[in-house]
C-alpha cells in the first residue's frame, strides 16, 4: 500500500488521510510479520489488502488525530493488560484454571477494545453507534448502554476478526416436506429463536466479542462490560476467570478445536 491513503475515519467520520492502525496496538505483541485476508474481516473500502504485512495486523482505518488521541489515552493501559494476560498463559502452559488478579486501568482497557472494534467494522458502523463513538472519543465518559456488551477470553494462538456479523439460531425443520416457497419462508420465520449482532477480534493473548442487544454467542465468554463503570484515572485489581478458547475456525465466535472441526 502507498503511504498516502485517503478515506473516511471509522471513528470520527472525517474524510482525509488515514493512518495505519495496529489492531491490537503494536506493543501488545502485534509487531511481527503476518498474513491476513479480507474474508476474516467485516472490512471494505480497500483499506485492508490480501497481503503479508511486515509490521503486524492492522489497516488504514483511523485519521491521524483519532489514532494519536486514542493511542495516547488508552494504548499503554491496554498493553499492560495484554502483558499480564500473556504472563498468565506462559506460566500456566496455556491452561489457566483459576481466578487471576490483574492490576489494570479497566476504563482505558475497554475503551481501547471499543476503538479496535470500530477498525474491525466498516466506516458506516459509527453512524449506527454514535453513543459508542462518544464513549471512545471522550476519555472521561463513563458507563455504556446496557444493551452493549463486551466479552473476553484467553486466546493462546491464532487470530481472527470479523465485524457486523448477524447470527440467527433456528429450530430444525424439514423444508422438503413443505409445499411451496411461501410456506417455507413462513415456517422459517416461526422457527427463528434468537439473533445475535456482534463483532469479534481475537489476537493472542486475548479475544473479544462485542454484542448489541444480544445474548452472548458462547456461554463461556466472560462479560467485562463493567469495566466502563470505573473512572479514567482508576487503576485497580480485577479478578477474572477467563477461559482459553481456540480460534481455529474461520467463522466468527466458532470456538471448536481443530479436532472438533475435523469431525
Q: Is the pLDDT of residue 174 over 70?
A: no
Q: What is the mean pLDDT of the chain?
A: 84
The 10s digit of each residue's pLDDT in 51-80 is 555 567 888 999 999 999 999 999 999 999
DSSP the chain: --S-EEEE-TTT--EEEEEEEESS-TTTT--S-EEE-GGGSS--TTSS-SEEETT-SEEEEEEHHHHHHHIIIIIHHHHHHHHHHHHHHHHTTT---S-EEEEE-HHHHHHHHHHHHHHHS-GGGGGG-HHHHHHHHSTT-----TTEEEEEEE--S--EEEEEEEEEEE----GGGSSSHHHHHHHHHHHEEEEEEEEEEEETTEEEEEEESS--SSTT-EE-GGGGGS-TT--EEEEE-PPB----SSSTT----HHHHH-
Q: Is the pLDDT of residue 47 over 80?
A: no
- Quote the pLDDT of residue 186: 53
111 domain-assigned: yes
186 domain-assigned: yes
174 domain-assigned: yes
Q: Is the pLDDT of residue 6 over 90?
A: yes
- Quote the pLDDT of residue 45: 40
The rounded distance, in Å, linking the Cα atoms of 258 and 249 is: 8
In the chain, the largest separation of any two C-alpha atoms, in whole Å, equals 63
120 domain-assigned: yes
The 10s digit of each residue's pLDDT in 224-236 is 999 999 999 999 9
The 10s digit of each residue's pLDDT in 110-130 is 999 999 999 999 999 999 999
Q: Is the pLDDT of residue 49 over 80?
A: no
- Quote the pLDDT of residue 4: 83
177 domain-assigned: yes
Which has more pLDDT, 164 or 124? 124
Q: Is the pLDDT of residue 182 over 90?
A: no
Q: Is the pLDDT of residue 103 over 70?
A: yes
Q: How many structural domains are present in the chain? A: 1
178 domain-assigned: yes
236-241, long-range: CB < 8 A, 24+ apart = 236/103, 236/104, 236/106, 237/101, 237/102, 237/103, 238/101, 238/102, 238/103, 238/104, 238/106, 239/99, 239/100, 239/101, 239/102, 240/99, 240/100, 240/102, 240/152, 241/98, 241/99, 241/100
113 domain-assigned: yes
123 domain-assigned: yes
Q: Is the pLDDT of residue 199 over 90?
A: yes
Query: Residues 109, 81: contact at Cβ < 8 Å?
Result: yes
| Domain that includes residue 183, residue range | 76-262
Amino acid at each position: 500500500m502507498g503511504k498516502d491513503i485517503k478515506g473516511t475515519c471509522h471513528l470520527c467520520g472525517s474524510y482525509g488521510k488515514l493512518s495505519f492502525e495496529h489492531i491490537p496496538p503494536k506493543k501488545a505483541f502485534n509487531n511481527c510479520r503476518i498474513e491476513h485476508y479480507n474474508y476474516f474481516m467485516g472490512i471494505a473500502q480497500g483499506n485492508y489488502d490480501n497481503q503479508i504485512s511486515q509490521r503486524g495486523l492492522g489497516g488504514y482505518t483511523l485519521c491521524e488525530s483519532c489514532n494519536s488521541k486514542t493511542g495516547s489515552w488508552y494504548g499503554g493501559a491496554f498493553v499492560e493488560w495484554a502483558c499480564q494476560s500473556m504472563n498468565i498463559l506462559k506460566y500456566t502452559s496455556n491452561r489457566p484454571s483459576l481466578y487471576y488478579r490483574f492490576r489494570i486501568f479497566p476504563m482505558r482497557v475497554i475503551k481501547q477494545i471499543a476503538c479496535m472494534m470500530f477498525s474491525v467494522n466498516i466506516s458506516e458502523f459509527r453512524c449506527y453507534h454514535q453513543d459508542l463513538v462518544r464513549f471512545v472519543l471522550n476519555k472521561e465518559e463513563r458507563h455504556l448502554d446496557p444493551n452493549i456488551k463486551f466479552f473476553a477470553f484467553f486466546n493462546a494462538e491464532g487470530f481472527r476478526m470479523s465485524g457486523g456479523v448477524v447470527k440467527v439460531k433456528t429450530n430444525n425443520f424439514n423444508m422438503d416436506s413443505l409445499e411451496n416457497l411461501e410456506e417455507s419462508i413462513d415456517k422459517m420465520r416461526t422457527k427463528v429463536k434468537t439473533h445475535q449482532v456482534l463483532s469479534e477480534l481475537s489476537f493472542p493473548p486475548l479475544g473479544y466479542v462485542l454484542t448489541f442487544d444480544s445474548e452472548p454467542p458462547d456461554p463461556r465468554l466472560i462479560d467485562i462490560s463493567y469495566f466502563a463503570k470505573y473512572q479514567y484515572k482508576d487503576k485497580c485489581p480485577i479478578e477474572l476467570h477467563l477461559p482459553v478458547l481456540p480460534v481455529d475456525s474461520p467463522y466468527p465466535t466458532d470456538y471448536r478445536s481443530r479436532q472438533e472441526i475435523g469431525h
